[in-house]
Amino acid sequence: MTANELRRMYVNFFEERGHKEIASASLLPENDPTVLFTTAGMHPLVPYLLGESHPQGRRLTDIQKCVRTGDIEEVGDDTHLTFFEMMGNWSLGDYFKEEAISMSFDFLTNVLNIPVERLAVTVFEGDSLVPKDIETGTIWKNKGLKEEQIFYYGRDENWWGPAGQTGPCGPDTEIFYDMGRPRCSADCGPSCKCGKYVEIWNNVFMQFKKEADGSFKELEQKNVDTGMGFERVLTIFNGKTNVYDTELFVPVMTCLNNLICGLKKEMSVRDKRIICEHIRAVCFILGDSRKISPSNTEQGYILRRLIRRMIRLFKKAGIDHNFLCDLARVIIGQYKDIYMELGENEDFIADQLQKEFELFTKTLDAGLKKAGKYLESVGANGILDGGSAFKLYDTYGFPIEFTCELAQEKGYSVDLEEFQNKYSEHQIKSRKGAGEKFRGGLADNSIQTARLHTATHLLNGALRRVLGDEVYQRGSNITPERLRFDFSFNRKVTEKELAEISRIVNEAIEKKIEVSMKEMEIEEAYQAGAIGVFSGKYEEKVKVYSIPGYSKEICGGPHAGNTGELGAFKIIKEEASSAGVRRIKAVILCEA
């Protein structure tokens, strides 16, 4: 089975069952402060899962680009990836458990031809707040699964949400492929990490709303949100033991091997895997239509971390040449017919990789000087302390192996136990932070955020009126307290210009204009003068929100009903975001 065959098989299966295929959204989620990247297919669908009507209907399917970095240190093993594709299907208040499970089972057994006996599933076992999901267990039994193939677990394993303290949530049922290995113990099941069971699909049933008092109330609109890991399924059903042996990585791995052929130092298999995985992730992040650049904050920081990790691994192998652009060309050539933005942004990708290589090379040189000072101060025991080794790792990006080699050249060793302790402390802190920032889920959907969303439309319109039509939105982020808006522009916006932008927005607010929405064919929307963030990334039918005289944009919503609800608009700060991109932070001063 080829990658493209799997993609088409999945989408065709659900289209035949009344689903509309929707395009893969940006890797940078719109107006969701809880995540840095799109980590699941449900992120672009947040407004619709919360009740907004989707222009394509109530049954949807897609293959969504995703990035997750919580397990970045695990990349290089057989399964962990930072970038991946997620196959998904959704019911927005249409079908529920019976039909969702039936379709999943049908696809696995009749399309992928998986024997029923190779499946295992998990189901919510219930607790004092929500009863056991007997319905789901019964459905699986009716499909032919035996008792020993159905496992019941608690909230840690089989419950989704809510994203915050309150909101939509519910039980899920995860589907696993039995690799055929013997059980590691009598208690061995899908929650075990021995490798016997590999998760391939998850069906989330948004059935309840958690109230402020901690109780759970049945939702009026019950939704189904599913996700199936594309790379994992392709690996399993082509009989491979790791993703790097599939067609997704063989071309870039072959290119890497050719580039480093004949070098004196041997590069480890794990290091090769990390480079090939990271270059794919970096190409997709840099190739995104919002054009994020490496930086020291948020998405730019993750991007920088991935690029610099690759450079470190090349340096570790004694390679000073920048091979990143060569590898990127392989990834772009492989994916540009599926994700056109990679081909469209090929020059930008290459330019950013070259700039970051040059910048980090200078950092490495500074790190070598610092390492020299640390080694000069090594005591009579001939051991470099682990704290210094960790500073070289954390501040200058030195892998511990590199530091050990530098020490060995001087006849010294490194206190690896102390280094590992420092590293473990750092990892725990990082994962705690990642757990907060990457937890994902439904973003805040309050009246206040809807008003701020409307304010971004007014701001975008005012920017284009004052600064020119070359201004385009590059991203936005909304919390209940403020909005942040990124836009393409090559210089600092003057105080006079900012004052005029604010005046235009507040003028629209004072006029108390009704915000209207109309569903249109995409070409009709463009002909009507609507602008969109990402040209070519929309469905055949879209929502167009209009504020006559000030804004007309393609958008999913939600919005205020009238501009008067915003009260007043105030720009807090204007600054650079990245090369060619400026950022405005603003608030609205409306009554609660």
pLDDT digits (tens, 9 = 90+) for 506-537: 999 999 999 999 988 888 888 888 887 654 45
CA distance 324 to 72: 19
CA distance 409 to 406: 5
**Cis geometry, peptide bond prior to residue 55 (ω within 30 degrees of 0):** no
What is the model's pTM?
0.79
pLDDT of residue 153: 96
pLDDT of residue 444: 57
Average pLDDT over residues 291-303: 83
pLDDT of residue 234: 95
Amino acid at 591: E
CA distance 569 to 283: 37
Across the strands, what pairs with 176?
Answer: 120, 199
Closest-CA residue to 364 (of 404, 325, 316, 409): 316
Lowest mean pLDDT among 107-116, 339-348, 555-564: 555-564
| Residue where the block lists tokens 């700039």 | 355
Closest-CA residue to 174 (of 208, 148, 207, 140): 140
**What SS3 class is residue 45?**
helix
pLDDT of residue 427: 66
Contact 274, 82 (CB under 8 A): no
pLDDT of residue 538: 59
CA distances from 515 to 481, 551, 557, 571 (A): 22, 10, 11, 22
pLDDT of residue 392: 87
Buried b (16+ CB within 10 A) or exposed e, 302-327: bbbebbbbbbbbbbbbebeeebbbbb
310 vs 535, more confident: 310
The pLDDT of residue 540 is above 90: no
Structure confidence by residue, pLDDT tens digits, 148-187: 999 999 999 999 887 667 778 999 999 999 988 888 998 8
Q: Is 54 annotated as a binding residue?
A: no
The pLDDT of residue 357 is above 50: yes
The pLDDT of residue 545 is above 50: yes
The pLDDT of residue 46 is above 60: yes
- Mean pLDDT of the residues in the chain: 88
Contacts of 424 (CB under 8 A, 6+ apart): none
- Chain-centroid distance of CA 130 in Å reads 30
Structure confidence by residue, pLDDT tens digits, 366-422: 888 898 999 998 988 999 999 999 988 877 777 687 788 789 888 999 999 999 998
Structure confidence by residue, pLDDT tens digits, 337-350: 999 999 999 999 99
Contact 276, 321 (CB under 8 A): no
Query: How much of the chain, in percent, has pLDDT values that exceed 70?
Result: 94
Token pair for residue 476?
């936005």
Q: How many residues does the chain have?
A: 592
pLDDT of residue 429: 60
Average pLDDT over residues 29-50: 80
The vertex-130 CA angle with 125 and 133, nearest 5°, equals 40
**What SS3 class is residue 166?**
coil
Average pLDDT over residues 39-46: 84
Give 343: exposed, middle or buried? Use CB within 10 Å, 0-12, 13-18, 19+.
Answer: middle
* Positive or negative: CA dihedral 99, 100, 101, 104: positive
The pLDDT of residue 496 is above 90: yes
pLDDT of residue 435: 42
Give 427: exposed, middle or buried? Use CB within 10 Å, 0-12, 13-18, 19+.
Answer: exposed
Average pLDDT over residues 494-503: 96
pLDDT of residue 299: 87
CA distance 65 to 43: 11
Q: Is 555 annotated as a binding residue?
A: yes
CA distances from 404 to 376, 385, 393, 399 (A): 14, 11, 11, 9
Contacts of 160 (CB under 8 A, 6+ apart): 169, 170, 171, 172, 204, 206, 225
| Residue where the block lists tokens 């419950």 | 159
Query: How much of the chain, in percent, has pLDDT values that exceed 90?
Result: 58
The pLDDT of residue 16 is above 80: yes
CA distances from 123 to 128, 171, 173, 216 (A): 16, 8, 5, 18
The pLDDT of residue 123 is above 90: yes
Lowest mean pLDDT among 71-80, 110-119, 273-282, 318-327: 71-80
Q: Is 559 annotated as a binding residue?
A: yes
Residue 137: pLDDT band with limits 50, 70, 90: very high
Average pLDDT over residues 128-144: 95
pLDDT of residue 297: 74
Q: Is 426 annotated as a binding residue?
A: no
pLDDT of residue 341: 93
CA distances from 430 to 275, 425, 438 (A): 22, 9, 11
CA distances from 114 to 78, 94, 139, 245, 265 (A): 22, 28, 18, 21, 44
Angle between helical axes of 346-376 and 400-409 (0-180°, round to 10): 40
Residue 438: pLDDT band with limits 50, 70, 90: very low
pLDDT of residue 591: 62
Token pair for residue 414?
């490194």
Contact 342, 330 (CB under 8 A): no
The pLDDT of residue 42 is above 70: yes
Half-sphere exposure of 113 (CA within 13 A, CB side): 4
568 vs 42, more confident: 568
pLDDT of residue 585: 95
CA distance 187 to 189: 6
Amino acid at 532: G
What DSSP assignment string belongs to 169-188? Answer: EEEEEEEEEE--PPPSSTT-
